[in-house]
Chains A and B, each alone.
Chain A
Amino acid sequence: MESLFINIGNLCREKVVELTEVLNLPEAFAGYFMVLIYAIAILTFVLLNAIVLVYLERKIAAYLQQRLGPNRVGPRGILQSLADVVKLLGKEDIIPRAADKWIFRLAAVLVIVPTVMVYAVIPFGKDMIAVDLNIGIFYFIAISSTATIALLMAGWGSNNKYSLLGSMRVVAQMVSYEIPLVFSMLGVIMIAGSLQMSDIVAAQKDMWFIVFQPVAFLIFIIAATAELNRGPFDLPEGEQEIIAGPFTEYSGMRYALFFTAEYANLISTSAIAATLFLGGPSGPWLPSWMWFLIKVYAMILFFMWIRWTIPRIRIDHLMKLNWKFLVPLSLVNIFVTGVALKLFSGW
């Protein structure tokens, strides 16, 4: 059970190696083809989860608000997401006359790329990381910071005052909250002594880092919610405030791509939280990848709970919270962690 996916992977690898020999291709081809298979498998996993999450979010929101949520399409409304996908595929793609066509189109595509790239370093199970980079978590930090450009392009490309304003606010928010997000991860890096994801998971085999870094975990949750434009920090997207912010002029599949990216980001951020603070894919008795799923879903449900419980924060409060509270607090956390580590490990 534990090596279920590893065994499937190895079976594929044997077939691919045979194929490489039969077709006389260079040896490296087998390795790269396997990575392609991993990438497609991960993408499929993410998309399936995103579809489930859209439904889950609506149901959870409904029950928290004491109503039923989607319950017409399929038993208990389970097929709702599928119906939504089919609908979005079939919607007419309206590009406003005044829009900058190339930037408008490119933005929808470019928002997906960093979202997918990030999954390369996530540990889905024991020995189940697609690309175990030496700079693991730093790769995640660097790639997620590029999402802001795609959002700026979306807002600009629409040539609409509201889109532009919305996208600038989104980017100002995302960019500000990146700092405490990264600072909170530093404590974990200090204890683990490495950026590599497999090392970070291994370092938690005796005790999860949430025990050593509770403050950092809290800062991470708050900063991550803001980075994901979710929960109490969704001002730039709030329907009552600015229509749909940067996505106002988008319709059909392009709109769907933005929202797929949002849910995929939710999954990847929860996965990072689970890896850095909850020990990642490890635990007694159940296979490692099952533990990973459980922990990721625990984080996702936590994020959803926060979103549907706490009211939206005003933009000036949002910025004040970040620069005047979270950033100094995370610096203090680094200092305390440093002192504690040095004292604990002797001079």
Chain B
Amino acid sequence: MSGMASPVIFWVLAVVTVGAGLAVALTRNIVHSALFLVLTFIGTAGFFMLLEADFLAAVQILIYAGGVSVLLVFGVMLTRHGNIKLSNPLNRYKITGGIVAALLLLLTGGLILYSEWEVSPEALREQESTVSAIAVSMLSEYVIPFEAAALLLLVALIGAVLLAKGVKHSK
């Protein structure tokens, strides 16, 4: 079995990621929310690294911290005109929201802790390189999902342009 993940790093990452996640929801300034979200993305990349998935960690940083965040921040900056400091206020449903979130946490936490997790034999093999393993399986076993991902991206692209063009016409 590959090395044990250092508990200190895990707990630091956990506190940072979950804390940033809470900050996203609770900060009143929406731009601050977006930036805390970037922090959660980076924290998640840290978790991938702890699991020795180096390629995935870099992918997380590239796509999420480098791409999705830019998209989000552009969206926020281009549409926010009011008083930015109060643009993300807490609403009336904070107590109900809190209860629902706590129930969800109990449910998923319970499921995770009480399921029988199997360790797949492939994970136990010492990998030369995660990248090669991904390449091979992506193009042989998982070809259909791979091509389907391209179709999904195409649909997203066309959809976004259609929506944006709608905005342009109404000017």
Contacts and interface: CB of A to CB of B under 8 A. Distances in A.
Interface in B63-90: 65-67, 69-70, 73-74, 77
Contacts of A313: none
Given A135-B58, A146-B65, A195-B131, A103 B70 contact: no
B20 interface: no
Q: A interface, by DSSP: helix, strand, loop or mixed?
A: helix
Contact of B59 (A100, A142, A143, A168): A142
B129 interface: yes
Given A156-B77, A164-B77, A195-B131, A149 B65 contact: yes
B33 to A, nearest CB: 12
Contacts of A175: 67, 70
Given A103-B35, A153-B35, A138 B58 contact: yes
Interface residues of B, number: 22
B136 interface: no
A200 interface: no
Q: B interface, by DSSP: helix, strand, loop or mixed?
A: helix
A138 B45 CA distance: 14
A157 to B, nearest CB: 9
A167 to B, nearest CB: 9
Contacts of B65: 145-146, 149
B54 A148 contact: no
B61 A149 contact: no
Nearest to B58: A142
A135 B130 CA distance: 9
Given A142-B61, A146-B61, A149-B69, A103 B54 contact: no
Interface residues of A, number: 23
Contact of B77 (A149, A168, A195): A168
A141 B29 CA distance: 31
Contact of A100 (B31, B67, B130): B31
The listed residue with most A CB atoms (<10 A of its CB), out of B31, B55, B66, B130, is B66
Contact of A143 (B31, B35, B38, B61): B61
A171 B73 CA distance: 11
B5 to A, nearest CB: 14
A134 B73 contact: no
A238 B32 CA distance: 29
Contact of A149 (B32, B55, B58, B73): B73
B62 interface: yes
B70 A148 contact: yes
Nearest to B61: A142
Contacts of A329: none
A139 interface: yes
Contacts of A171: 70, 74
Nearest to B74: A168
The listed residue with most B CB atoms (<10 A of its CB), out of A102, A145, A168, is A145
Interface in A67-115: 100, 102-103
Contacts of B31: 100, 103, 156
Across the A-B interface, the 8 shortest Cβ-Cβ residue pairs: A145-B66, A142-B62, A142-B58, A142-B61, A146-B65, A135-B54, A152-B73, A138-B58
Interface of A: 100, 102-103, 133-135, 138-139, 141-143, 145-146, 148-149, 152-153, 156, 164, 168, 171, 175, 195
